[in-house]
Structure 1
Amino acid sequence: MNRVLAVLRQPFVLDVRALALLRVAVAAVVLVDLAVRATDLEAHYSNMGVLPLHVLYEHNWNPYELSIHTSSGLWQVQAVLFLLAASAAIALLLGYRTRLMTIVSWVLLVSVQNRNPLISQGGDDLLRMLLFWGIFLPWGRVYSLDSRQQPPPTSLTTCSAATVAYVVQLALVYWCTALLKSGVEWTQTGTALYYALSLDQILLPGGRLLYPYPELMRGLTFATYYMELLLPFVLFIPWRVAWWRGLFIGTLVLFHLGISLTLFVGLFFLINWASLPGLLPPAAMDWLERKLVPRARRLGTRLTQWRTGWQWPAPTWRSPVRVHLTAHIEHAPQSVKLLRAVRNTVVGVLLVYICWWNFDTVTSTRLAMREQFRWLGYLFRIDQHWGMFAPAVFKDDGWYILEGTTAEGRKIDLNRSGAPLTYAKPAAVVSLFPNDRWRKYSENYLFVSNAFMRPYYCNYMLRIWGENSAHPRLKQLEVIYMKEVSLPDYKTTKPSREVLCGCAP
């Protein structure tokens, strides 16, 4: 029995060095995310922007959600919170008070996501969950400032409820993504990628190269669907674990590289890449240490000697090539063992809850989660939905025109820096968006259910335009959407002009 259990637990045995790389990757992406968000402090997070607090509370607020960023409508307060989040992320990257900084980073990430849900995308859910599970993972045990104050680990591998949760979470992302793709474009006709690349709002140059080849796109559509559906199973094969993990990592690195070159999805591909290092097997980490650690140590020695005269410490464990890598429970006091048992129990319960939540998103059965149980998911933001291009790809496409009328009666387009008005399609529609947050906002702007948000965007753009004395004064601004529906066989409907909102000074 013990031998069987030892075999079954192999898929969940992780290298603590790989978990350290996971920590660094996640912290780095959090910093990039903050940098992108910080370019729109006033627009997205203040009362002077597109979603004032009273509008958020009236239309987009869940009473179980919490947000420190809603404590003030001033962009200056938001800037302070962003600096705190960046400081915590840097500390997490360096491994300084790792568990505390993981909690702080998670709290502030949840807070900023709750402040403006109109600009959120699927990758935000994954980034949030990586930090959440990181609270319970030993990802600060090595390659961290904290490790200098600890004795060397007796084993470089670990297995716990948290490692199970991390592996299962990665599988859920792709399983649910595939199961939610129920449209015929994914399962029968294979035209999903054709319609995705027909969306000018997200089309990148790499997508333009693929677009003329319908059979290639059809093959890639089915390859994507079945890869997402079947690939996660390899994470649970208890034999040749390192080989299967290598297949999983390599396939997804190439998959998300392809997405990043063809579709404008913001940080989605980076977040997915950042989720993978924790799966690196011991053999891979041994190779990386042999190649990278001596170079890093030599660089660190030069820098620290130059600044303080401090010497880089000797390795805290024997060469990993010679360490016997096996899951090991260190000798610990009874209180520590009790704490570990409680932690594993809590993580196990949360994992079952999350699996139940995901099961509910892809099925309609008697086992569906009732509303009275959802408060826990909203409170800790472990709610998740992996409906990327699901159940089918949008057919409605188009581009925005901010049609301004000057005091002299001239028509200009604020979306093109005040150029003379034209209804012709831009050469690159995707270039109209400063970043993916604005692209996602514009997508939500179209929905009738979000009509409440339209005047705030219109008035914000009118105010920003008027603050520049070099701009001509406007007497009216209309937000126009030139709607163009994608049809089969490289056809589209004639663009139609839709006035979404109008405002005046």
Structure 2
Amino acid sequence: MYTPIALFTIMGIASVLGAIAIFTRLPDDHPHKNPQLSLANRLFGIDLRSLAFFRVALGSMVISDILHRIPDMTAHYTDQGILPRADLISKFLGKWILSLHMWNGTEVGVTLIFGFTIFCGICLLMGYRTKLFTFLCWLLIISLHGRNHMVLQAGDVLFRLLLFWAMFLPIGARFSVDSALNSNADSDPPPRRILTIAGLAILIQTGLVYVFSAAMKTHAHWWPNGEAVYLAISIDHFATPVAHFLLNYPQVMKYLTLSTFLLEWAGAFFLFIPVFTGPIRIGLVLAFWGLHVGFGATLLIGMFVFVSAASWIPYIPSYFWDRIAYAWEKRRSSAVQIFYDGECNFCAKGVRLLKTFLILPKAELLTGQSSEDISKLMDKENSWVVVTPDGKRYLRSKA
């Protein structure tokens, strides 16, 4: 399910976007050319677009995590499997375990709660009633983990923590169903960045994961011998074909060991340098993503790779998004006009959703009743109307 090809593809796309951001120059009159931010906001603030990306990643992982567990659902989560509920309570836990999965031990019952979890993950991904479904996803994931602790790993612990902090962050403020249907968004747009206790906590938490990971690497296999990566990918139970190939190059393994050790030690500290913060963070996010792509390409460690990579998304700076947005808008320098029936509430919501999810920031949403000519055309064709900058009009599916 988690293949090296997919990981390298994702990393390739991320690297291209990072290069575009670093080498794109904003014009002098661009409103975000030299943003005036306080030191605290520059170091500990989070861009709302990064939080939107973070939300999509969390929702995707909720869905994929459940899909990944479905083949072993009977063995791991029902009374017919390796850990019936009675044994879990009597031998491992008390009677007050927080797990909704304990309500039913049949395949049908577990299938229903798995299906509901996937539904919640989809709603979280789309940003529909974001606060509610973030809470439900967190509750269902900790419930899932509480049902069978024997099939968990470090990635599951981090996943719970990311969902927890997400409950206190405005992850649905941008590029979501909630933001698209917010009628006040145009007159009272959300800020570009937020500086909150929860935001500070999730940033520091991610950095500390790697600081303490590096602090635990005290064996000579890491420094000075540089054998740790070679030894790790030599374990056949976890090794992938890529790992078997790399074992032929022990000197390369030594360089990878030392670079991993140094990146984990130094990377977290460079995150909070107050100068050139944007470019430095782009480079560090790509470096740590590359680290986890390497883990996923050589070791079969499931969701750990994706959860760890997702923890870096809040670090993506406004510097990145401003330049990607500018490059995107340059390719679509002219805005279209979208006319809809002003008396149809469903139509108004539909065009706002289109503007949000097709990423059309310059699109102008207008009621058909605002133009006599357009109103007549809409009544005649019973269709919405899209007008391009050159004056061409499109109806129905062609629009």
Using a 3 Å threshold, how does the CA distance of structure 1 residues 62 and 216 change in structure 2: closer, same or farther? Answer: farther
Establish whether residue 235 from structure 1 lines up as the match of residue 271 from structure 2: yes
Establish whether residue 114 from structure 1 lines up as the match of residue 150 from structure 2: no
The 3-state SS of whatever aligns with 2:108 is helix
Contact 2:45 2:194 in 1 (8 A): yes
Establish whether residue 244 from structure 1 lines up as the match of residue 280 from structure 2: yes
CA distance in 2, matches of 1:319, 1:68: 42
Using a 3 Å threshold, how does the CA distance of structure 1 residues 229 and 150 change in structure 2: closer, same or farther? Answer: farther
CA distance in 1, matches of 2:211, 2:174: 32
Using a 3 Å threshold, how does the CA distance of structure 1 residues 53 and 36 change in structure 2: closer, same or farther? Answer: same
User: Structure 1: where are the runs of 5+ without partners?
Assistant: 302-307, 321-505
Which residue is 1:166 aligned to? Answer: 202
Amino acid paired to 1:312: V
How far did residue 34 of structure 1 move? Answer: 0.7
How far did residue 257 of structure 1 move? Answer: 1.2
Contact 1:88 1:105 in 2 (8 A): yes
Q: Which of 184, 193, 218 matches 1:151? A: 184
Q: Which of 236, 244, 252 matches 1:208? A: 244
CA distance in 1, matches of 2:41, 2:321: 20
How do 1:38-437 and structure 2 match up within 5 A? 38-61=70-93, 65-147=97-179, 148-149=181-182, 151-152=184-185, 153-289=189-325, 312-313=351-352
Contact 2:176 2:356 in 1 (8 A): no
The 3-state SS of whatever aligns with 1:285 is helix
Structure with more of its chain in strand, by fraction: 1
CA distance in 1, matches of 2:62, 2:228: 31
Q: Which of 51, 54, 61 matches 1:22? A: 54
> What do the CA deviations read for 1:115-156 (whole angstroms, capped 9, x no partner)?
111111111111111110000001111111111225222421
Contact 1:123 1:267 in 2 (8 A): yes
CA distance in 1, matches of 2:316, 2:210: 19
CA distance in 2, matches of 1:217, 1:83: 42
How far did residue 309 of structure 1 move? Answer: 6.1
How far did residue 273 of structure 1 move? Answer: 2.2
Using a 3 Å threshold, how does the CA distance of structure 1 residues 52 and 243 change in structure 2: closer, same or farther? Answer: same
Report the number of matched residues.
Answer: 306
Contact 2:238 2:300 in 1 (8 A): yes
Amino acid paired to 1:158: I
Contact 2:279 2:319 in 1 (8 A): no
How far did residue 270 of structure 1 move? Answer: 1.5
What TM-score do you get using the length of structure 1 for normalisation? Answer: 0.57
Contact 1:197 1:263 in 2 (8 A): yes
Using a 3 Å threshold, how does the CA distance of structure 1 residues 44 and 238 change in structure 2: closer, same or farther? Answer: same
CA distance in 2, matches of 1:82, 1:318: 35
Using a 3 Å threshold, how does the CA distance of structure 1 residues 240 and 86 change in structure 2: closer, same or farther? Answer: same
Contact 1:133 1:166 in 2 (8 A): yes
Contact 1:60 1:117 in 2 (8 A): no
How far did residue 179 of structure 1 move? Answer: 1.6
Using a 3 Å threshold, how does the CA distance of structure 1 residues 72 and 318 change in structure 2: closer, same or farther? Answer: closer
Contact 2:45 2:199 in 1 (8 A): yes
How far did residue 50 of structure 1 move? Answer: 1.1
Contact 1:8 1:238 in 2 (8 A): no
User: Structure 2: where are the runs of 5+ without partners?
Assistant: 1-36, 339-345, 363-399
How do 1:479-490 and structure 2 match up within 5 A? none
> What do the CA deviations read for 1:145-197 (whole angstroms, capped 9, x no partner)?
11122522242111110110110111122112112223231233221112112
Using a 3 Å threshold, how does the CA distance of structure 1 residues 47 and 246 change in structure 2: closer, same or farther? Answer: same
CA distance in 1, matches of 2:176, 2:239: 40
How far did residue 204 of structure 1 move? Answer: 0.7
How far did residue 74 of structure 1 move? Answer: 1.2
Amino acid paired to 1:277: I
How far did residue 292 of structure 1 move? Answer: 6.3
The 3-state SS of whatever aligns with 1:271 is helix
Using a 3 Å threshold, how does the CA distance of structure 1 residues 291 and 52 change in structure 2: closer, same or farther? Answer: farther
Using a 3 Å threshold, how does the CA distance of structure 1 residues 213 and 318 change in structure 2: closer, same or farther? Answer: closer
What TM-score do you get using the length of structure 2 for normalisation? Answer: 0.71
Structure with more of its chain in helix, by fraction: 2
Establish whether residue 33 from structure 1 lines up as the match of residue 65 from structure 2: yes
The 3-state SS of whatever aligns with 1:96 is coil
The 3-state SS of whatever aligns with 2:203 is helix
The 3-state SS of whatever aligns with 1:312 is helix
Using a 3 Å threshold, how does the CA distance of structure 1 residues 8 and 318 change in structure 2: closer, same or farther? Answer: farther
Using a 3 Å threshold, how does the CA distance of structure 1 residues 90 and 228 change in structure 2: closer, same or farther? Answer: same
How far did residue 203 of structure 1 move? Answer: 0.8
Q: CA RMSD in A?
A: 2.7
How far did residue 63 of structure 1 move? Answer: 6.5
How far did residue 315 of structure 1 move? Answer: 6.9
> What do the CA deviations read for 1:266-303 (whole angstroms, capped 9, x no partner)?
121122222222222223223444566999xx9xx9xx
The 3-state SS of whatever aligns with 1:50 is coil
> What do the CA deviations read for 1:393-452 (whole angstroms, capped 9, x no partner)?
xxxxxxxxxxxxxxxxxxxxxxxxxxxxxxxxxxxxxxxxxxxxxxxxxxxxxxxxxxxx
